Amino acid sequence: GQSLEQPSEVTAVEGAIVQINCTYQTSGFYGLSWYQQHDGGAPTFLSYNALDGLEETGRFSSFLSRSDSYGYLLLQELQMKDSASYFCAVRLYSSASKIIFGSGTRLSIRP
């Protein structure tokens, strides 16, 4: 079956850097996406990697390695407002573009 695995919780200090990992088992996909969700809110899109390598968007970067079945989201200069849940997701080649999500990582930031 298809699955994306993430750590359930990560804690970091304000101003620091944190990496949230996503390992996957899928038969084939178009790319790896990342979403942020604050408590009580809806998920919002953060970044997308179609190809292997690093994509940078401001304080956030995302990385994909298809050969290692692995990706990560890197958050720099952490702010208290970054406390949220983060989800990786893929759109599958099979099943007519179905998009599935990992179980999510809750990021807690300490002052």
Nearer to other proteins, 61 or 105 (CB): 105
Footprint of other proteins on this chain (CB under 8 A)?
8, 30-31, 33, 35, 41-45, 48, 50, 87, 89, 91, 95-104
**Cα–Cα distance, 92 to 26 (Å, whole number):** 8
What are the phi and psi torsion angles at 95 (to 5°)?
A: 60, 40
CB of 12 to other proteins, least distance (A): 20
CB of 14 to other proteins, least distance (A): 26
CB of 35 to other proteins, least distance (A): 7
Nearer to other proteins, 59 or 98 (CB): 98
**Cα–Cα distance, 5 to 86 (Å, whole number):** 12
